[in-house]
Amino acid sequence: MKTNMYTHIKTFLILFALIVQWHEGKSVSNGSNLSFSINCPPNVYVSCKDEIWNLSMYGNATYSVGYHTYSAGSPVVKYYLNSCNAGYITRTWTVEDPYWQWQSCTQTIYVSSGGQGGPVIEWPEDINLTGCNPETNPYKLPAPNNYPRWNDSECSMLGKSYSDMLFTVNSQCKKIMRTWKILDWCNYSPSAGYGIYTKVQFIYIINSTPPAITCPAEITVNATNCKNGVLVAQSLYVDPSVCGGDFVITNNSPYATSKGNNISGTYPVGTTKVTYSVKYGCNDFKTCTTNVVVKNASKPTPYCTWQLSTALMGVDTDNDGKVDDGMVEIWAKDLDKGSFSSCGYGPLKYSFGKDVTKTSKVFTCENIGKNLVEMWVTDTKGAQNYCLVELYIQNNGANIPDCHSTPVTPVDPVYSQKGNVLTLTDTPVKGADITLKYKDPVITYTSTFDTTETLQLDSFINLSGYKLYRYVLVKKITEHRDSTLTFITRKVKTDANGKYLIDSIVVHNKAVTISATYTDDVRKNIDNKDVELLTKFLLGEVTFSSYHQYLASDINEDGKIDIADQNILMSFVTGQTSTLPGSHQWYLLDKKATFAKPEDVLTGPLPFNVYLDSIKLINPAVDFIAIKKGNISIDPNSLLNANLENRTTVLSQDIVKAYPNPFIDQIQFSLNTSHEGQARLYLYNSNGQEIRNMSFAVAKGDNEINVGLNDDIYGLVMYRWAIGDKQYSGILSKIK
């Protein structure tokens, strides 16, 4: 049998061991008493944070032969760890004993994943972002506002995630609540909640660009009831935000019907400062202020003598004992016939003209004949109004020589057109716009000339008989004619006497149309008398004999007169509305126009235009009659008595008086009667429905009876008193 090298080495080692024991005085017999052992280091429990790669620090194995110990060499190491470096490690040593048997031992190192404390995390900070839709992706935000950070650990496997909750205040103000979660995969316990870390980050999205707003510096309205005026304002408009959506607009007006972007409401006389507030961004505000100025437009009511005649007194201007001139001084107060202020702003001042110091006026021979003068009344608040007086100055008993009016010869330019604009009472309308328009265009021709010069070859024979050539300059003129179509329109305004004159009319052989328009204070000469008259018409108590009043009564311009017109006019007079509907405030119609029946004016075409075939050298005047919608009683100097037919037998209201009128909640009746006993009061609304029926005890003579009406009744109220066998009626206006 062959003996290999390994066998020789083992034999040598055994012999060497026997020799050693022999020297030590021990007996060995066939090696049966040679001891052998392998010694492993103990098992170890460590953390993943401890050293798990250089394992010699946890001990090494040895083996002993007899009394001698030797290193077991390098072990075979095997790792049984998971991704979190937790598990166990084995170290196995293998040694062959003297008897050719392999001996081994194993050390186990148990590695746990639990460390001391959690990871150190740097959480993202809160951030403010500007704009409408800025980038909120955390990986596109700057540090330290983007995402969490931490130091890597051998014992941990960390992962992050986030979720967003968006809270929208408005299009310019939003908040994102971003919840970050970091999970330690190695230490996470769903039941105990260990190994997961949470932090909330707030991201604010704000558009801080203020809106552009503009407020009117001042809004002016008129009060016609001496107390307040109704403001119908435009809503404040602000362009929508660049982020989309409208801004929230509020106002602080105590009189506005709403607190939003419209300040319409009923304001007292005086100045009210109103502030608009526009909310933008996250609770930022921009403001602007406007003043609402309510002016007392209640003018005093003038009543004056319609006509007055007076004679001049003789005057000796050169002291020669002979009368050579005449004069008379008239005081404006002498023309008054009971003017008053509806607001009680007295005493009134009387003057000739707006200047309150011109309380009198001197008339002389130059004023002989008819003089149209204005008697002005002015209240203590400075409001003014006037009425017209025809003052006839006469040279009677004084027999003043050469005292007569100087005739004024009107001078009209050649080819002109004139006329008048007057109301039904012949009151002149100043400032009316008169338009003369040609029916067809006027053709005008213009000529232009082009001049060209060219060289032409010419020949001639000189005195010697030779033919010679030369160039001569030839001028050529060409005419070009162009025609232009022009629609010619002329515009003028009436003067203080309601007269107009369109002069220097060059084109006079063409057909023209003439029309007139006019506007003034919408409330002038429209009051409770008009409401009362319209109501009586609807109740059949009166009829209109003039087409002018039919036209003035069609308030909504629907071609008929009904309760809708009465309600609209009532709301306007009581200040609930500031304008009347429709496209006309005034109707300026051809004065010569007629209608078969007055009511035909409501359905037939209105004669706004006067047609002329041409402008003649001496042309008849073209006059217009001015009718104001709503002015049914035709103020001033009403023609009510002349144009109305009374169909009722109601007695004079001198026996029954009611005041104040209009009223708010209390009305006082003053009764003067010869009856003693019970009197019954009936109240009706504008539809003729009975709303009250009350009985009162009255005595002979004067009686004062106070009646209250609650807030659910307002507008036009008609009353009827039954006192004995007599009936008395009238109309009241109840305002809010």
What's 663's domain CATH number?
Answer: 2.60.40.2550
Mean pLDDT of 565-579: 86
Predicted confidence at residue 375, as pLDDT, reads: 92
Mean pLDDT of 25-40: 63
pLDDT value at 258 more than 50: yes
Calpha distance 218→291 (Å, rounded): 5
Mean pLDDT of 33-41: 86
Going by C-beta distance under 8 Å and a sequence separation of 6 or more, which residues neighbour residue 122? 144, 148, 149, 150
Residue 378 lies in a domain: yes
Share of the chain above pLDDT 70, in %: 83
pLDDT value at 715 more than 50: yes
- What is the domain range of residue 143? 121-206
Predicted confidence at residue 675, as pLDDT, reads: 86
Mean pLDDT of 123-142: 90
Q: Are residues 434 and 539 in the same domain?
A: yes
Q: Are residues 597 and 701 in the same domain?
A: no
User: Which of 23-32, 452-461, 512-521, 662-671 is predicted most confidently?
Assistant: 512-521
Q: Are residues 512 and 370 in the same domain?
A: no
Predicted confidence at residue 28, as pLDDT, reads: 36
* Cα-based angle 340, 358, 314 (whole degrees, multiple of 5): 115
Q: Are residues 325 and 243 in the same domain?
A: no
Cite the DSSP H helix spans in 380-514. none
Q: Are residues 201 and 143 in the same domain?
A: yes
Calpha distance 378→345 (Å, rounded): 9
The total number of structural domains that make up the chain:
6
Q: Are residues 417 and 561 in the same domain?
A: yes
pLDDT value at 411 more than 60: no
- Dump strand ranges (E) for 123-171: 127-130, 149-150, 158-170
Half-sphere exposure of 185 (CA within 13 A, CB side): 11
User: Which of 269-273, 307-311, 483-487, 659-663 is predicted most confidently?
Assistant: 269-273
Final residue of a structural domain among 112, 141, 164:
112
Q: Are residues 628 and 531 in the same domain?
A: yes
Calpha distance 546→597 (Å, rounded): 9
Q: Are residues 427 and 517 in the same domain?
A: yes
> Cα-flanking dihedrals φ and ψ of residue 228, to 5°?
-150, 170
Number of Cβ within 10 Å of residue 308's Cβ equals 16
Band the pLDDT of 636: cuts 50, 70, 90: very low
Mean pLDDT of 523-533: 87
Using only C-alpha atoms, the chain has a radius of gyration, in whole angstroms, of 58
Predicted confidence at residue 224, as pLDDT, reads: 81
Number of Cβ within 10 Å of residue 200's Cβ equals 12
Final residue of a structural domain among 296, 327, 360:
296
Q: Are residues 542 and 641 in the same domain?
A: yes
β 499-502/417-423 pair status: antiparallel
Band the pLDDT of 619: cuts 50, 70, 90: confident
DSSP codes joined into one string, 477-496: EEEEEEEEEE--EEEEE--T
Residue 338 lies in a domain: yes
Final residue of a structural domain among 394, 421, 453:
394
Residues forming beta bridges with residue 543, ordered by sequence position: 645
Q: Are residues 255 and 292 in the same domain?
A: yes
Share of the chain above pLDDT 90, in %: 31
Mean pLDDT of 682-701: 83
Going by C-beta distance under 8 Å and a sequence separation of 6 or more, which residues neighbour residue 22? 28
Calpha distance 416→506 (Å, rounded): 9
Predicted confidence at residue 259, as pLDDT, reads: 92
Number of Cβ within 10 Å of residue 9's Cβ equals 10
Q: Are residues 546 and 415 in the same domain?
A: yes
Going by C-beta distance under 8 Å and a sequence separation of 6 or more, which residues neighbour residue 184? 118, 119, 156, 157, 158, 195, 196, 197
Q: Are residues 163 and 265 in the same domain?
A: no
